[in-house]
Amino acid sequence: MDHAEQVAEVLFAEQQRLVDEFGEVDGSQFRPHPWERAGLGGGRACILEDGEVFERSGINVSLVRGSRVPPTIAGSRPHTAGLPYAATGISLVLHPRNPYVPAFHANFRYFEVTGADWWFGGGCDLTPAYGFDDDAIGFHQALKSWCDRHDAAWYPAWKATCDEYFTIGHRGEMRGIGGVFFDYLSDPAPEGFDRCWRAITDGVATILPAYLPILQRRRTMPYGERQRAWQLFRRGRYVEFNLVYDRGTRFGLETRGNSEAILMSLPPLARWGFDIQPEPGSPEMDLARFLQPHDWASRR
């Protein structure tokens, strides 16, 4: 069993654990959709739609292999050009029904180029429609704790990368409150792979403690049509980010990947209106300050 298989095996198990946990929170089951592409590999997308807590949620794990590293990767990593590769990863997107519960996204992936190189990448970020300081602080502190257990340099660097990456250029705002985002995490030391892999499994294990307290705090907050309309409008921005800027989405669509699995990140329902401006002083207006980079983890 090579490292890619070893990682995939753990990620499939983690997927099941997350599916069980979030399914229990919701009170309904994720449906498994195994998929395969001839000569490439496959995966399993677990989907929960129209649930009590989650309006649309997906957790996907895949393991694919190819005979030649894709051009976009070979471009930035020339020593990998033309070589066979394996890629595996888990990605998770939760779109809750209650407008006060933020949407959540996490992704962890492993890329291995036979005989040449390997690295991990990924991240976690949170997208609220209504901002709460406690949620933003708690979320970033959970991510910082995870990072700090492995390398004190990671959180500040990965947080900055995340703030930059999740920017909706044409709107001049972030998709949400950020989180962490990293790529090309590797370590050439003899125990390097094990060390990185321990950090990654610890990251996957941080999904629940980072997100569940927020979900539990907000899920029973009463809301009405105004909050629902605002949530749908903010989801429109989520769609704009994912389809215009998100590299994974664009790469996946361009290379004709499994479009249902790629677009499981899109919200169940989204709204657009011309020049929607929240009232000054309203909670909707207050969201704006959450959508700019901010040092949440050091707040108390």
Tell the smallest beta-carbon distance from residue 243 to a copy of itself (Å): 4
Among 169, 205, 286, 292, interactor with a copy of itself by CB under 8 A: 169
Q: Which is nearer to a copy of itself, 165 or 296 (CB)?
A: 165
Q: Which is nearer to a copy of itself, 93 or 147 (CB)?
A: 93
Tell the smallest beta-carbon distance from residue 13 to a copy of itself (Å): 23
HSE (CB half, 13 Å, CA atoms) of 159? 24
Angle at 262 between CA 249 and CA 173, to 5 degrees: 40
Among 7, 19, 25, 45, interactor with a copy of itself by CB under 8 A: 45
Buried b (16+ CB within 10 A) or exposed e, 79-88: ebeebebbbb
Among 4, 47, 59, 69, interactor with a copy of itself by CB under 8 A: 47
The answer to whether 150 is a known catalytic residue is no
- Radius of gyration of the chain from its Cα atoms, rounded to whole angstroms: 19
Spatial separation of the C-alpha atoms in residues 289 and 286, rounded to whole Å: 6
Distances (CA, A) of 145 to 101, 141, 199, 202, 203: 22, 6, 12, 10, 10
Q: What is the DSSP string of 17-41?
A: HHHHHHHHHHTSPPEEEEEEETTTE
Q: Which of residues 249-278 bind a copy of itself (CB under 8 A)?
A: 250, 253-254, 256-257, 259-260, 262-264, 266-275
Tell the smallest beta-carbon distance from residue 269 to a copy of itself (Å): 5
64's enclosing H/E stretch is: strand 54-66
Tell the smallest beta-carbon distance from residue 103 to a copy of itself (Å): 13
> Where on the chain is the footprint of a copy of itself (CB under 8 A)?
33, 45, 47, 49, 56, 58, 169-171, 232, 236, 239-240, 243-244, 250, 253-254, 256-257, 259-260, 262-264, 266-275
Catalytic site positions:
105
